[in-house]
Amino acid sequence: MSIALIKNNNVILGPMPWNYLVFKEELERCGVNFPDLPEQTPSDLPMNFDNGVSIVFVIRNIPDHTPETQFLTGPTWDFEKNPVEATYGVGDYPIDYAKASIKYLLKMKRSEREENTSINYTFQDKTLRFKIKREERNYIASLLSSISSNSTINFKSDSTEGKVFVTLSKTDLENICIAINTEVQNLFNWEKDKFDQIESAQDISTLNNISF
């Protein structure tokens, strides 16, 4: 629960977490010298002082909203209640700003999926597992570029059975690269589909209904 300092039903400080020094300084600015202000969060609020000054608990009523496309307005205050209530409204950002925010969030989500996605690749009697993040696929690509057509390499791979050794040819590495790059491209296709939905949205409500 937040705390505020009010004077004659006007908010002077907060709502915010309890900070002994900040509230003490603000009390002094309001003409109140109270040396016994507790250093820890008080449990017996409201604390009433001279000059219509009080320190009160605040309940913040925050409606559901999408931070990338909407902002909080207000609040309006109900000083008659204990704890005092602060009720917020919601406003919409300009559509171009909101689209840019959602596109950035989409980019981060695609990058997160790329970082955490693996593919299964069937090789002989084993199911190998490869991560598709950039470092992993660059490593596989470097192996492919360094191996000659008639050579093989002993490769220690993740699999559904744990770590296993397999002997891979250049063709095997090519097929693994294709499988990895296909999954990466699937993620970019997914991002492009969502990007187009964002781009074509005409209002904030439509933007907020695009899920990913």
What single letter denotes the amino acid at residue 11?
V
Q: Up-side HSE of residue 80: CA atoms within 13 Å toward CB?
A: 0
**Tens of pLDDT, residues 101-121:** 999 999 999 999 999 999 999
Average pLDDT over residues 208-212: 94
Residue 180 domain boundaries: 96-208
Helix (H, G, I), strand (E, B) or coil at 102: helix
State whether 166 and 203 are in the same domain: yes
**Domain identity same for 148 and 119:** yes
- How does strand 84-92 pair with strand 2-7? unpaired
Last residue of a domain, one of 60, 92, 124: 92
Specify whether 103 is located in the same domain as 179.
Answer: yes
Domain boundary among 42, 59, 92: 92
Residue at a domain's end among 92, 125, 152? 92
User: Do residues 100 and 202 share a domain?
Assistant: yes
- Determine the pLDDT at residue 51: 86
Q: What would the pLDDT profile of 122-167 be if each residue is shown by its tens digit? A: 999 999 999 999 999 999 999 999 999 989 999 999 999 999 999 9
Torsion over CA: 40, 44, 49, 55 (sign) = positive
Residues 21 and 51 in one domain: yes
Distance CA 184, CA 166 (A): 24
- This prediction has a pTM of 0.78
Could you read off the pLDDT of 21-67 as tens digits, one per residue? 999 999 999 999 888 899 999 988 999 998 899 999 999 999 999 99
- Using an 8 Å Cβ cutoff, are 59 and 77 in contact? no
Do 146 and 111 fall within a single domain? yes
In this structure, the answer to whether residues 48 and 79 fall within a common structural domain is yes
